[in-house]
Amino acid sequence: MNDLSTLDTRITGARSDLRSLDIGLPPDIKAVRRRHARRRNALIGAAGLVSVFGLMVAVGLRRDTSESAADPQGIGTKIGETPWRLMLMPAGWTGSLVDDDTTTITSAEGQQIELSAEPGVRPPTDAPVVVGPLVDGYSTGATIYVERMGWTLEVAIPGGGTVDEAAAVWLLQSIGRVDIVAPFPDTPLPADIPDVVGMDYEAATEVLLGAGIRSEWFRMPRGLAPLTGTHPVGTVLEMRPIENRVILNIEAPPYELGEEADRYVGGFNPNLNAYGQSRWLVGGALPFGERSAVPYVFLSGEISAVFSPQSPNGTATIQDYQSQLNGRQPSEQPVDTEQPAATEAASAVDLATGQTFPLENPALSYQGLALEGLPDGWTLILESTQATTNGCPTEKAVVLRERASIAAPIDCTRGYGQTLPRNWMVIEPIPEAISMNRGCSLRLMSWNPPTRPSMQLCEQQFSYTLGFATEAELSGRGQYLFFDGVDAVVSAGGDGTGLALALVYADGHSAVEDPDENDFTIAARRDLDELRAGGRGCTALVARAEPDFDLAASEAIGTVAGTVFPDTGADMVGRPDGIEATNINPQPDARGTMISLKSGDVETPYLLAHRYVWNPETLAGEWRIASIERYTGIWPPPRQLPGRPPSQTLPD
Amino acid sequence: VDHVAQITNATVTDLTLFDDFYRAEYSNAVRLAWTLTGRKDLAEEIAQDAFLAAHRRWGVVGSYDLPGAWVRRLVLNASTSRRRRVANEARVVLRLGRERELAASTTETIDLVRAIRKLPARQAQVMALLVAEDLSIVDIAGVLELSEDTVRTHLRRGRERLTELLADTSTDGMDQ
């Protein structure tokens, strides 16, 4: 029996053996979902980015009836415990609602974190709302005025509504905290803690501060929320030093929330029950040892306001999730919000052509633009036009253009039904009442996921093997090739004489024609989320050569590139004739990695610039390609032979 | 045994059918991930993540001709990705003698799947589908979205390499 026959026998035996293994029944998919959400959300706290950036608040919604019982310490704020939350995000992160129960927040670097709600729990009707600071609020009768960044947000509570104005203010307050949360000092509490029982909580704060104890006050209806001047607070009733913290119960009048009053009264006393009549103060360190600002998660409680961007004047709907919690339908109370006329026209953004969106995102933020639906990947900006008008609130301000050759030729339908030319994105004002700053916030709208450009690069090493094409089956259009972990597609030109390389995210689906200016076929495309779900870490660029192999012409229409992937584990199958790409070693330019695309006798060098970024998924830093540019230095670089110094003598 | 064909025949778009799909495919997915990762806990996690992804996109995935192939591809990719990450951890586990790998399997099976994990990623995926799933070349090509010729190439190379690896294992055993 030869070796292969023996192997086949072993395979047969192993197959039977594996079949006999007791895998067990699959767990309930809902339980899987909860675990998955916890696992993903836990990464948020570890990301460690918040301390670097200014903080904003995005609105999420928390709802978990079992949390109180499951959280005897009572803080109820450990990241990952609750499906929805108010969460702090670094500046530059944006959120978008993926589906009915999932929100994805995306960093400027393209990192994504997915937040999922429990099945059946209704999330906010829109993506997390990024809000500006809420300075103060006051009310006159049925109208509440909330000042925010120089604006006055007018919230009219409908008569007979079940949510009173105090609650509405609280809602706005809850979603409006923007001031940077200073971390608790990472030091032990002093031995002598002043007795503040009987003091007003503000006076107690001062006394404690004088003793070197920084204190934060939170109301604890069902989680952690900051107390501010708009909250009714009272006297310190109790003081209990516990290790490195002090918990104070504070007398406070109850909130009145109509028929659900009993559910919203008072605060949260972890040692008694979930709905005690007290508030408490935590000084020194939070119970779970969260001493940095990162894990501060402000839970929104059972009700939240959701602002609709579709309304020119903005509308907010107060949703009573407690009702839903009790088996009734959410009671939605429309709250009209009026936005004062913009006092400052939005500036047009001059984005640097050739740069990536992530790199340019700070410029957008500085201009008061919120970039929602940030395209994944290192998408180069090909074009940036001035706004047709700078006026708020409805006209588009900036049009950006993606690399025309890459995005899938699917109509990019904007959120309002307007069809845009593909690969163009529009930044337009946010019409709703809540804005980021400057009185006229804009945000990038309607990035349609199917049109994501396939330029996501996420490499982990400097050293690459570059390669194009393979054996594969070249049949008219569609030559398929792959490498380890990176799949690609090569499609032949119409006459079969040339090659157009369209290296796509991964193994894909049906071919997509690109009948426009590029005249090549994208034979595979894959949604980035799917890729990530599938564990694919890396993708590719696009390389193209026309039948005449005129690389200059190809470059002119924006089809540059190559495949980049770690050289370890590469499993490249074959090479095509005429096109090759190699990494250059040693690298002649310290700014990045040099690659060379070669087609026939034409060799074109490119420089891949790198950036070191934090990857919250792997909890590690990694190098990523930030830009690709034509190399203008000496080419080809002088070859260096290792270990041999240059000859100093003339040959005989 | 041909669950892929079954799923193909039943174009599953109804969300309620996800549960059936999940129950029918779960153990296969775990087994497949197990073959490539060697860790039961990790295999279960990978499989569950894959089904969770399918659940979330069931409206789309359920309409695929081969939803099972879609899940398998996620499992394969995740397994391939994770096996590098867990390599160091696995070494520690081995040193500590707490290996949970295929505890119910025979030594020959363990040797075989260990050898499979030493193959280049694509070859390992092809061999895993062959060993753990007993898929045909056509089905493997469908799962991996490769041509049958490409699958044959990987299969041939994988088998050749496996014989070498297993021969080494056998030699090592004799040496010992």
Show residues of chain B in contact with A530, CB under 8 Å: 53, 57, 74
State the sign of the Cα–Cα–Cα–Cα dihedral A545, A546, A550, A556: negative
Residues B73, A472: C-beta atoms closer than 8 Å: no
Cross-strand pairs, A248: A239, A281
User: Which run of H or E residues covers position A163?
Assistant: none
d(CA A76, CA A220): 9
Q: Pick B121's closest partner by Cβ from A15, A509, A571.
A: A571
**C-alpha dist (Å) from residue A31 to A37, A279, A304:** 10, 33, 26
**C-alpha dist (Å) from residue A532 to A105, A111, A538, B73:** 15, 11, 9, 12
Residue from A18, A471, A484 to probe the interface with B (highest B Cβ count within 10 Å): A18
Other CB atoms within 10 Å distance of the CB of residue A16 = 12
d(CA A481, CA A473): 8
**C-alpha dist (Å) from residue A311 to A156, A317, A392, A428:** 15, 12, 14, 14
For chain A, residues with pLDDT lower than 50 are 1, 40-93, 100-101, 114-188, 218-233, 241-355, 364-590, 596-602, 623-625, 637-652
Does A33 reach chain B within 8 Å, measured CB to CB?
A: yes
Residue A263: both structure tokens together: 């559910």
Report percent pLDDT > 90 for chain B. 0
Other CB atoms within 10 Å distance of the CB of residue B173 = 10
Residue A570: both structure tokens together: 């590469």
d(CA A62, CA A65): 10
Residue type, B130: L
Does A22 reach chain B within 8 Å, measured CB to CB?
A: yes
Residue A57: both structure tokens together: 């608040």
Show residues of chain B in contact with A537, CB under 8 Å: 81
Which three-class secondary structure state does DSSP give residue B50? helix
Show residues of chain B in contact with A487, CB under 8 Å: 145
Residues B48, A13: C-beta atoms closer than 8 Å: no
> How far is the alpha carbon of A14 from chain B, nearest alpha carbon, in Å?
5
Show residues of chain A in contact with B149, CB under 8 Å: 473
Q: What is the pLDDT of residues A26-57, one digit of tens each?
A: 887 767 766 665 554 433 332 222 221 222 22
**C-alpha dist (Å) from residue A292 to A38, A71, A176:** 20, 21, 20
Residues A3, B163: C-beta atoms closer than 8 Å: yes
User: Which run of H or E residues covers position A43?
Assistant: helix A29-47
- What's the confidence (pLDDT) of residue A342? 29
Show residues of chain A in contact with B145, CB under 8 Å: 487, 507-509, 524
Does A25 reach chain B within 8 Å, measured CB to CB?
A: yes
d(CA B110, CA B49): 25
Does A472 reach chain B within 8 Å, measured CB to CB?
A: yes
> How far is the alpha carbon of B96 from chain A, nearest alpha carbon, in Å?
24
The alpha-helical segments, DSSP class H, found in B86-134 are: 87-96, 107-117, 121-133
Q: Pick A7's closest partner by Cβ from B19, B144, B166.
A: B166
Residues A569, B53: C-beta atoms closer than 8 Å: no
A86 neighbors A297 (Cβ within 8 angstroms): yes
> How far is the alpha carbon of B133 from chain A, nearest alpha carbon, in Å?
8
Report the Cα A552 to chain-centroid distance in Å.
37
Residue A4 CB partners (closer than 8 Å, separation 6+): B159, B160, B163
Q: Pick A534's closest partner by Cβ from B73, B113, B149.
A: B73
Does A535 reach chain B within 8 Å, measured CB to CB?
A: yes
Chain B residue nearest residue A480, CA to CA: B146
Q: What is the pLDDT of residues B77-131, one digit of tens each?
A: 778 766 554 444 444 333 333 334 445 567 788 888 888 888 887 888 889 888 8
**Of A226, A256, A235, A229, nearest in space to A166 by CA:** A256
Q: Is the peptide bond before A636 cis (omega within 30 degrees of 0)?
A: yes
Show residues of chain A in contact with B69, CB under 8 Å: none
A478: left (phi over 0), alpha (psi -120 to 50) or beta: left
DSSP code per residue over B124-152 = HHHHHHHHHH---HHHHHHHHT--HHHHH
- What's the confidence (pLDDT) of residue A132? 27
- What's the confidence (pLDDT) of residue A7? 85
Q: Pick B77's closest partner by Cβ from A6, A7, A534.
A: A534
B130 neighbors B143 (Cβ within 8 angstroms): no
Residue B101: both structure tokens together: 């790998």
- What's the confidence (pLDDT) of residue A125? 29
φ, ψ of residue A415 in degrees (nearest 5): -60, -25
Residues B132, A18: C-beta atoms closer than 8 Å: yes
ipTM of the predicted structure? Answer: 0.77
Residues A480, B146: C-beta atoms closer than 8 Å: yes
Residues A534, B30: C-beta atoms closer than 8 Å: no
Residue from B20, B145, B162 to probe the interface with A (highest A Cβ count within 10 Å): B145
Residue from B109, B129, B130 to probe the interface with A (highest A Cβ count within 10 Å): B109
Show residues of chain A in contact with B168, CB under 8 Å: none
Q: Pick B159's closest partner by Cβ from A7, A13, A507.
A: A7
